[in-house]
A and B are shown apart, each in its own frame.
Chain A
Amino acid sequence: MQNTASRKQLMESPWKPFLKENILNPYPMYQELREKDPIHKTRTGEWVITQYEDAKAILKEDLFKVGNRAEWLSKASTQHMDKWESFSVIVDALKSFVVFKNPPDHTLLRKFIMQAWNDREVDQIINENIESIFSGIDTTNFDLATELATPLPAMTMTRILGLPMDDYLYLEDLSHKMIRSLDLYLTFRQIEKMEKATKEFIEYFERHATQKLSKPDNSLLSRLIHLYKETHQIPHHELIANCFFLFIAGEETTAGLIELGLYHLIAQKKLNPDLRDSQLRASATEELLRYDSPTQIVVRMASENYELRDRIIKAGDPLTICLGAANRDPNKFEKPDELVLTRNPNHHLAFATGIHRCLGDWLAKKEFEVLTGKLVTRFSSFALLDQPVWKENLNMRSLQSLHVSFK
């Protein structure tokens, strides 16, 4: 009997992304995969990649395409037409997002966005938002996740895009609904909510883009819509979709970085006056991004057969690339499970790499660095009042709540 049990255990895949314990702490599962089967083929047919060099090679190789989720949803809505009322709005939006586009469209769209988004003077906006948040909370007892980490990036993106500040909570809510489109497992109700949120996003951004046309200002939305008017380089619906994509992308992951980053700094007693030094703050930010990456997983689809070491990845095969596992690979990082704020070099993959590398990485880091600098200047003691509550999502790691006290 024992023999049968152990054989079964051997055959059992360590990749169990649906188990709560793995969602709350995926690192032991990653380690097992990285050591035993780093190019792992799951029973559902996708490849799970956990070593640094493999992840990097795949992300840099153009034959691996993005857009799996949009394809999947689109296939579902055509194959199950009778049951699938209509989820065409979310499918079209996902297909328009720069992050899910392949060359040559991707090249053009990304260039278009970068051309409009050339203003990196955001320190003042961030500072004002932090002050505004602090003026409304009791810093000796508050929820860092919902009262600081979530509103700061949402307010910052609202300001950068040039939208009315009062709207940030509304936009944040739509964003939370849409980000679920990246979850590994979806429910029908979630897709319904995503569809509705997408419609509202489109309506909202159409309205504000029109206003910026008649009343131009220096905001990102205004610059995007005017660049569109002058060049017509991209279709109008793609322009609108990417306006709210920028909001979502700038909000969700940055909130994750602030939550995870500050949690680890406080828990490991590393949030202290040393971090007044901007150089240390910069390397600490990189290290926190490596140590517990907000974006844990990105997916790709092979467009041709590809030889990855001794394995053949066939055209059409989906790949799940675990950035969080690559960032803890001992072949790349010494003592990978330790948080070493001075780590240098630190070529982590938290923002991915290759043509789809995050285009707002500088903004996320800036928000975290400005905030941390302010905290260690203003307060001298930081305490956790409770254990953190994690959001149960493997792809995007973040907190539901984190009760803290700053004095």
Chain B
Amino acid sequence: MSTIQDFIRLKVAETLGINSEDVNPDEEFMSLGLDSMHAIFLLHEIEKEYDVEINPHSFWEHPTINSFSVNLEKQLAAKS
């Protein structure tokens, strides 16, 4: 499992107040219990961690931890 994925999974778990292992990385953010408000904070944490600017649309366009991570990896690769 990649680091980006781990990081996001951890942050999602923190937000929901559960263990990271209990967060299914293929389940949609929304069905995990995250809403548009959580999205703002989660994306902000990721932006700070990876020093990147994230389009807020990507949270909805890539709505699982796994798909979001893949997309972010691509963005970071393109940047470097």
A interface, CB within 8 angstroms of B: 16, 18-20, 23, 43-44, 72, 75-76, 79-80, 83, 183, 185-189, 191
Q: Is the CB–CB distance between B54 and A187 below 8 Å?
A: yes
CB distance from B60 to the nearest CB of A (A): 4
CB distance from A61 to the nearest CB of B (A): 25
Compute the total of residue contacts between A and B using a CB distance below 8 Å: 47
CB distance from A274 to the nearest CB of B (A): 41
CB distance from A131 to the nearest CB of B (A): 40
Q: Is the CB–CB distance between A83 and B56 below 8 Å?
A: no
Which of B30, B40, B47, B58 has a CB less than 8 Å from the CB of A186? B40
Q: Is the CB–CB distance between B37 and A188 below 8 Å?
A: no
Q: Is the CB–CB distance between B37 and A76 below 8 Å?
A: yes
Q: State whether A187 and B56 are in contact (beta carbons under 8 Å apart), knowing that A18-B61, A79-B37 are contacts in the complex.
A: yes
Which of A18, A43, A183, A188 has a CB less than 8 Å from the CB of B43? A188
CA distance A19 to B53 in the complex (A): 18
| Majority-rule SS of A interface residues | loop
CA distance A79 to B38 in the complex (A): 11
Determine if B32 is an interface residue (Cβ-Cβ < 8 Å). Answer: no
CA distance A314 to B35 in the complex (A): 20
Cβ contacts under 8 Å, B57 to chain A? 18-20, 23, 185
Q: State whether A44 and B40 are in contact (beta carbons under 8 Å apart), knowing that A19-B61, A185-B59 are contacts in the complex.
A: no
B interface, CB within 8 angstroms of A: 30, 35-37, 39-41, 43-44, 47, 53-54, 56-61
Which of A18, A72, A188 has a CB less than 8 Å from the CB of B60? A18
Cβ contacts under 8 Å, B30 to chain A? 43-44
The residue among B40, B41, B56 with the most chain A CB atoms within 10 A of its own CB is: B40
CB distance from A172 to the nearest CB of B (A): 23
Q: Is the CB–CB distance between A189 and B35 below 8 Å?
A: no
Closest to B57 in A: A18
Cross-chain pairs A/B with CB under 8 angstroms, 20 sampled: A18-B58, A19-B57, A20-B57, A44-B35, A72-B36, A72-B37, A75-B37, A76-B37, A183-B56, A185-B36, A185-B39, A185-B57, A185-B60, A187-B54, A187-B56, A188-B41, A188-B43, A188-B47, A189-B47, A191-B40
CB distance from A347 to the nearest CB of B (A): 33
CA distance A16 to B57 in the complex (A): 10
CB distance from A26 to the nearest CB of B (A): 14
Cβ contacts under 8 Å, B44 to chain A? 187-189
Q: Is the CB–CB distance between B43 and A80 below 8 Å?
A: no
CB distance from B3 to the nearest CB of A (A): 22
Cβ contacts under 8 Å, A189 to chain B? 44, 47, 53
Q: State whether A187 and B37 are in contact (beta carbons under 8 Å apart), knowing that A19-B61, A44-B30 are contacts in the complex.
A: no
CB distance from A320 to the nearest CB of B (A): 13
CB distance from A247 to the nearest CB of B (A): 26
Q: Is the CB–CB distance between A186 and B56 below 8 Å?
A: yes
Cβ contacts under 8 Å, B53 to chain A? 189
Cβ contacts under 8 Å, B56 to chain A? 183, 185-187
Closest to A190 in B: B56
Which of B37, B47, B60, B61 has a CB less than 8 Å from the CB of A80? B37
Cβ contacts under 8 Å, A186 to chain B? 40, 56
Q: Is the CB–CB distance between A44 and B41 below 8 Å?
A: no
CA distance A20 to B58 in the complex (A): 10
